[in-house]
Amino acid sequence: MAVRPAWKGYIKLSLVTCAVELYHATTSAEKVTFHILNRATGNTVRRQYVDPGTGKPVDEDDEVKGYEVSHDKYILIEEEEIEAVQIESSHTLNLDGFVEKSEIDPIYLDTPYYLAPADKVSQEAFAVIREALAAKKMAALASIVLYRRERPVIIEPFEKGMLLTTLRFSRQVREADDILGDIGKADPDDEMMELAARIVDRRKMKFDPSHFDDKYEDALLDLVKAKRRGKKPAAARPEESKPSNVVSLFDALKKSLASDGGKKSGSNPSKPKPATSRSDTATRKTAASKPRRGKSA
């Protein structure tokens, strides 16, 4: 099944413009999800909007968006009127400026998307923009209207295409001092710092996302498969999270280092997640999602 673009438009560097398409770089297709059923009948249930005054469901044709201007006073806004609102970033990624990616605090990075030329005619201009960014080792700042919201974005070269990442607004990011400001100043002992550093060094490894494993989702699948076979699910046992009885931080560091004695630098404590079997895939499909309304604001 072909992947559908999340957005279509143009990318513009001064007078150089080409058509592009934006695609989700991540997916949640493999996530274990569930339907909501009527326990008595086994039927899936539907959500409905209900008028609190009449107590009756509202027909879809009678639903309309409203903006509250005062208590219980609304201006009605039709879908066509919202669709008619267009600004430059609705259809064009205008590269406003350029920064080094390292200048952007990771807390501002939000959602990644792949950016690709829309057709063969656009490939040359697209490549010129991508290679210019690569040559200068810079990333471009722009804005895009996505899902009826304008969002600041950063665009950088990525393999044969580009990577567009939406950015959070400063108002969406909490001040670190509001949370971390009350943490007292510590002055760790040099010997303890050396022990901790040795533990870090001994556990150093290569970043490999294929080793990531969602153990909670695996446990959910085990639950579904057990119930499917008519068996009682195994009792869940949360991993021990309480501190050990070691009261000395120095002793805890020494014991940690000793327990890591057989581990080699560069090894990964997690094994690669095995390929999904057909039975697992079928289980994922039968455990389906909560029904969605299908309308966005």
Per-residue pLDDT, 1: 64
Sheet containing strand 109-117, strands side by side: 92-94, 7-13, 16-24, 109-117, 161-167, 149-158, 139-146, 97-99
Calculate the average pLDDT of the chain.
85
Nearest to 96, CA basis, from 141, 139, 156: 141
Per-residue pLDDT, 24: 96
| First and final C-alpha spacing in the chain | 28
Per-residue pLDDT, 264: 56
Per-residue pLDDT, 247: 65
Residues in contact with 233: Cβ distance below 8 Å, sequence separation at least 6, in sequence order: 222, 223, 226, 227
Per-residue pLDDT, 278: 42
CATH for 7-30+85-172 is 2.40.290.10
Mean predicted confidence (pLDDT) in 78-103:
93
Domain boundaries, the chain: 7-30+85-172, 188-236+247-286
pLDDT higher than 50, residue 289: no
The one-letter code for the residue type at 104 is I
Q: Distance of alpha carbon 178 from its chain centroid, rounded?
A: 25
Using alpha carbons, list the distances in angstroms from residue 31 to 143, 268, 289, 291. Answer: 30, 24, 9, 15
Per-residue pLDDT, 291: 44
- Asked whether 67 and 82 are in contact (CB, 8 A), the reply is no
Nearest to 143, CA basis, from 91, 207, 107: 91
Check: pTM over 0.95? Answer yes or no: no
Tokens of 100: 């080094």
Q: How confident is the model at residue 273 (pLDDT cuts 50, 70, 90)?
A: low
Using alpha carbons, list the distances in angstroms from residue 25 to 33, 71, 107, 151, 214. Answer: 21, 42, 19, 17, 19
Per-residue pLDDT, 236: 67
